[in-house]
Amino acid sequence: MKISVTEKAIIILLLITVLVSQLNASPPNWDPVSNLQYNMNVTGMLQIEDEVFSDDPQDIIGAFVEDECRGVISPMPEHQGLLFLTIGSNQMQGETITFKAYRAETGEIHDLDPVTHL
């Protein structure tokens, strides 16, 4: 089966459209649970690659307990990308918190592995 030049152009146009739509993907609608009894504050930075940290205010970091959002923050350029994240709970202890990041540049959501440097 031979593909005509017009068909090739349509295929290429479709691929470009898919790629552009992925790059312009809408940010996630992570809406933290409100009115929780306790909270804790986490200070950090979103490391993109070795020695490179995000200061893009369009990036979003979310804290979750299972699938429930407990806190959301974006890097603050005026603070060199530092994050000051408040995470809420109705329990004083015993919940496992996981983190996700939405990268505006790529439209991708990543599970994060927290790293502690002392």
pLDDT in tens, the chain (118 residues): 565 545 444 455 444 444 444 455 689 999 999 999 999 999 999 998 888 899 999 999 999 999 999 999 999 999 999 999 999 999 999 999 999 999 999 999 999 987 655 4
pLDDT of residue 114: 75
What confidence score (pLDDT) does residue 6 get?
Answer: 52
State residue 49's pLDDT score.
83
What global pTM score does this model have? Answer: 0.74
Q: Pick from 57, 56, 38, 54: which is nearest to 97 by CA? A: 38
Contact 70, 96 (CB under 8 A): no
3-class secondary structure for 80-108?
Answer: CCEEEEEEEECCCCCCCCEEEEEECCCCE
Ranges of each domain in the chain: 38-112
Cα-based distances in Å from 107 to 46, 57, 90: 15, 14, 32
Determine the pLDDT at residue 17: 44
Nearest to 22 by CA among 111, 104, 114: 104
Q: What share of the chain is helix, strand, coil (3-state, %, to 5)?
A: 20, 35, 45
